Amino acid sequence: MKSGLVSVIIPLFGDFDPTKVEMCIDSIKNQRYPDLEIVVVEQTKNPSLSGIKHITYQHLPVTFSEDGFFMPGRVRNQAAKISSGQFIYNNDGDILFSDQDYLIKLVEIMQESQRVCVYQPIIRRIPVENFERFRRRFKEAGINLAISELDFSQPYGATYSDDPIRIRHFKKSLAYGQEEISVATETDHRRYLSGQNKGKEPFFYTLQVHAGGTLMRSDQFFFVGGYCEDYAGWGCHDEDIQWKLHSVFDLKRI
């Protein structure tokens, strides 16, 4: 384990879009935090990712590995086991870091106490209607310029000022004074209200946070036993490790 090093884990499942992975890696590469590595673990070998593996990311170490089982917790554990950092950040292949000081700010919070770990950063969604334009600008000019051209004026949205897609968000009160915010484009919101779509909220709405985004110390990760490998579906393994971290350490929402 290297002191101060942040290992950013990117698990990939199935036939994941290689351009999104490249965007993700480039956004991490542009972080101003001085000591980083990236560990990419594929659930199964994806031939479309072969081109990315040959990209030279300057002095940023990028490790690719494979795991043949569709178990989200197992894939993330595999990445953590081959990582070298004092800190482990659990990311996903379609999450970009738009703030170049993002990891600097998180590590500063972690340094308040050896017991602190952080989770669930607020995120913005690029509507599918805008994504091809964003992809094209990334290929033409790189991730920094592509991000800089987005309009962040709508809460929880990242669209274009000359081609705006309206973003709707709805607050739901939870127990203990907490609240949950669901986000959808205007188009998806209308689709939800029409026909027989009531009760299918997860298909149309997403949360305002990256639910699995978690920064923890490596020793915290292994102390709680890492991710549970018994969950076959999405999300439960993230909630499980966050519950374990909350039970033992000082888990703070970002």
Give the domain extent around 134.
128-207
User: What is the model's pLDDT at position 46?
Assistant: 60
Q: Tell me, what's the pLDDT at 66?
A: 67
Both structure tokens of 83:
């990582």
Q: Are residues 6 and 97 in the same domain?
A: yes
Asked if 203 and 218 sit in the same domain, the reply is no
CA 136 – CA 213 distance, rounded (Å): 27
C-alpha 5/C-alpha 196 separation (Å) is: 50
Strands (E), the chain: 2-12, 36-42, 62-66, 85-90, 116-119, 167-173, 179-185, 206-207, 214-217, 250-253
Q: What does pTM read for this prediction?
A: 0.91
Residue that finishes a domain, picked among 169, 184, 207: 207
Q: Do 31 and 68 belong to one domain?
A: yes
Residues 6+ apart with CB under 8 A from 222: 80
pLDDT for 109 equals 96
For the chain, the domain total comes to 2
Tokens at residue 131, please?
Answer: 């994504």
Which parts of the chain have pLDDT scores under 70?
A: 1, 14, 44-61, 64, 66-70, 176
In contact, 94 and 20? CB cutoff 8 Å: yes
Residue 175: the pLDDT is 72
Same domain, 29 and 114: yes
The predicted structure's pLDDT at residue 54? 56
Judge if 24 and 108 occupy the same domain. yes
| Same domain flag for 105 and 228 | yes
- Residues 86, 201: one domain? no
**Contacting residues for 77 by C-beta, under 8 A, at least 6 apart:** 226, 227, 229
**Pair (113, 237) in one structural domain:** yes
Contact 202, 180 (CB under 8 A): no
Is there a single domain that holds both residue 185 and residue 233?
Answer: no
Q: Among candidates 184, 196, 207, which has minimal Cα distance to 95?
A: 207
Q: The domain spanning residue 39 has which CATH number?
A: 3.90.550.10
**Res 26: pLDDT:** 93
Residues 14 and 51 in one domain: yes
Q: Are residues 152 and 33 in the same domain?
A: no
Other C-beta atoms closer than 10 Å to the C-beta of 178 total 9
Give me Rg for the CA atoms of the chain: 18
Looking at the fold, whether 169 and 233 belong to one and the same domain comes out as no
Question: Are 217 and 117 in contact, with CB atoms under 8 Å apart?
Answer: yes
Q: Specify whether the CB–CB gap between 119 and 89 falls below 8 A.
A: no
pLDDT digits (tens, 9 = 90+) for 100-123: 999 999 999 999 999 999 999 999
